[in-house]
C-alpha cells in the first residue's frame, strides 16, 4: 500500500499549490520578503510609519456557514468571510492588517475547490490591503466527510500605541453608533440551518419572496469588512471603543469594550431589522433574547463616541459606504458592563 492508497494524494496537493500561487502573489505588499512555498512567511514591518508600533493578532473560522456552502456547491465566498471577519476583529482595536495566513483541512483534496476558496481569500486580502502570506492545506482522510472541509484564518496587524482603541475612555453619556451588517455574517448558522433546512424543509435553491432571493444566496452573503470606512476615523481620536458583533450578538460583545462602572442601553426601535432576521425569528419561534444574543440583527459593528461628535462620525461613515449608520443606544452607569434593551417587541 502507498500513501495515495491510504487517501492522501500528494500530486493533488502540488496541483493545489500551483493553482493558488498566483492568487497569493496577487496580494503581496511591499513588506513581503518570501514567496509561496517557503517554510515560513517573511514580512518586513516599515517601522518608519509608526512611532511605537503594537502588533495585534487574531484567529477565527467560518463556522457552520461552511455547511451551506457545501449544499450550494459554492466555495468562492467563504474565503471572503474568513478574511473580513479577522480584519474586523483587529480593526476594533485600531489596527490595520499586515498579513493573513490560512488553514484549509479536508478529507479528500480537490484542487478546484481549494482554488475557489483561496481565490475568495485573495480577493478579500487585496480589498483590505493585506498580504496572503502563507498557509497550510491538510488532507486528512477519514476525518472529514467527502466534499467537506474546514477553514481557519490568522491575521496580524499594527497600530501606533497611542492610537490603540481600548475602550478605557468610555464614559457615561457617550453614545453607541451602529453600522449595518450585510446579513448573518459568520455567526448563528447552527440555529439558522436548523430553522431553514430542518424545520421548514427548504433547500439552498428555494426562493423566499420575503427575502428577495434563494436561501443559498441570502445565507452565503459575505461578511462585510469595515476597514475602508473606519480607517479615516481612527486618526481623529474620536472613537473611544468598538465592538465587532459576532457570536453572542450585541448582548455579549458590547460589554467587552465597556469599562467598569458603565453599561449600555440599546434602543431596538432606532433601526429597522432586515427581513432575514424577522423571518428566522417567526419561522423558528425564536425568543427575542435569543435572537439578540445569536445574531447581529442588522448591525455588524458598534462604535462608541461622545454624543457631541456622533453626527459628524455618522456623516463620515455614510460617505465611505456606511450608509444607514445611526445612534442606537447610550452608555449609562452600571455595576458591571452589560447591555439592556428598550423597545424590544
Give the pLDDT confidence of 32-64 residue by residue, as tens digits.
Answer: 999 988 999 999 999 999 999 999 999 999 999
Q: Residue 214: what pLDDT?
A: 98
By C-alpha distance, which of 299, 205, 188, 338 is closest to 248?
Answer: 188
- Positions of the chain with pLDDT lower than 50, given as ranges: none
Contact present, 229 and 321 (Cβ < 8 Å): yes
- How far lies 154's CA from each of 181, 228, 275, in Å? 22, 20, 32
Q: List strand residue ranges (DSSP E) for the chain, in order.
A: 53-61, 96-106, 131-139, 149-160, 175-180, 207-208, 213-214, 241-244, 262-267, 299-305, 326-333, 339-342
User: Which residues face 240 on adjacent strands?
Assistant: none
Q: What distance in Å separates the CA atoms of residue 90 and residue 132, rounded to the nearest whole number?
A: 16
Angle, in degrees to the nearest 10, between helices 310-319 and 227-234: 140
Only one residue has cell 445612534, namely 327
Q: Residue 133: what pLDDT?
A: 97
Pairing of strands 299-305, 241-244: antiparallel
- How far lies 140's CA from each of 13, 34, 144, 303, in Å? 12, 27, 7, 42
Give buried/exposed letters for 302-318 (b at 16+ CB in 10 A, else e).
Answer: bbbbbeeebeebbebbe
- Residues with Cβ within 8 Å of 264's Cβ and at least 6 positions away in sequence, in order, are 176, 254, 255, 258, 329, 330, 331, 332, 337, 338, 339, 340
Q: Residue 7: what pLDDT?
A: 82
Only one residue has cell 475568495, namely 120
Share of the chain above pLDDT 90, in %: 92
By C-alpha distance, which of 227, 228, 225, 238 is closest to 313?
Answer: 238
By C-alpha distance, which of 36, 88, 106, 59 is closest to 222?
Answer: 88
Q: What distance in Å separates the CA atoms of residue 281 and residue 269, rounded to the nearest whole number?
A: 17
Q: Residue 255: what pLDDT?
A: 98
- Which run of H or of E encompasses 319? helix 310-319
- Structural domains of the chain, with CATH: 10-163 (3.30.1330.10), 175-342 (3.90.650.10)
Contact present, 315 and 239 (Cβ < 8 Å): no
Only one residue has cell 520578503, namely 33
Amino acid at each position: 500500500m502507498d500513501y495515495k492508497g491510504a487517501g492522501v494524494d500528494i500530486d493533488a496537493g502540488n496541483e493545489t499549490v500551483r493553482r493558488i500561487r498566483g492568487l497569493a502573489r496577487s496580494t503581496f505588499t511591499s513588506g513581503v520578503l518570501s514567496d509561496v512555498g517557503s517554510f515560513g512567511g517573511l514580512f518586513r514591518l516599515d517601522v518608519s510609519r509608526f512611532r511605537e508600533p503594537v502588533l495585534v493578532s487574531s484567529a477565527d473560522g467560518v463556522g457552520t456557514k461552511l455547511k451551506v456552502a457545501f449544499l450550494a456547491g459554492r466555495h468562492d465566498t467563504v474565503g471572503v468571510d474568513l478574511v473580513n471577519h479577522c480584519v474586523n476583529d483587529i480593526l476594533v482595536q485600531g489596527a490595520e492588517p499586515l498579513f493573513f495566513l490560512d488553514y484549509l483541512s479536508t478529507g479528500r483534496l480537490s484542487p478546484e475547490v481549494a482554488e475557489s476558496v483561496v481565490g475568495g481569500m485573495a480577493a478579500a486580502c487585496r480589498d483590505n490591503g493585506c498580504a496572503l502570506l502563507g498557509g497550510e492545506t491538510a488532507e486528512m482522510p477519514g476525518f472529514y466527510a467527502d466534499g467537506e472541509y474546514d477553514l481557519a484564518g490568522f491575521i496580524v496587524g499594527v497600530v501606533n500605541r497611542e492610537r490603540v482603541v481600548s475602550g478605557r475612555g468610555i464614559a457615561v453619556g457617550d453614545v453607541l453608533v451602529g453600522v449595518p451588517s450585510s446579513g448573518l455574517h459568520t455567526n448563528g448558522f447552527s440555529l439558522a440551518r436548523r430553522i431553514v433546512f430542518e424545520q421548514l424543509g427548504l433547500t439552498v435553491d428555494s426562493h423566499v419572496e420575503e427575502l428577495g432571493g434563494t436561501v443559498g444566496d441570502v445565507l452565503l452573503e459575505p461578511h462585510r469588512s469595515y476597514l475602508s470606512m473606519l480607517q479615516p476615523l481612527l486618526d481623529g481620536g474620536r472613537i473611544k471603543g468598538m465592538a465587532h458583533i459576532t457570536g453572542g450578538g450585541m448582548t455579549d460583545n458590547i460589554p467587552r469594550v465597556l469599562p467598569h462602572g458603565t453599561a449600555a442601553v440599546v434602543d431596538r426601535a432606532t433601526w429597522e431589522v432586515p427581513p432575514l432576521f424577522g423571518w428566522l425569528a417567526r419561522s423558528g419561534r425564536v425568543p427575542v433574547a435569543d435572537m439578540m444574543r445569536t445574531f447581529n440583527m442588522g448591525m455588524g459593528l458598534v462604535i462608541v463616541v461622545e454624543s457631541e461628535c456622533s453626527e459628524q462620525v455618522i456623516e463620515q461613515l455614510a460617505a465611505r459606504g456606511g450608509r444607514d449608520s445611526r445612534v442606537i443606544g447610550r452608555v449609562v452607569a452600571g455595576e458591571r458592563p452589560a447591555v439592556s434593551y428598550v423597545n424590544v417587541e
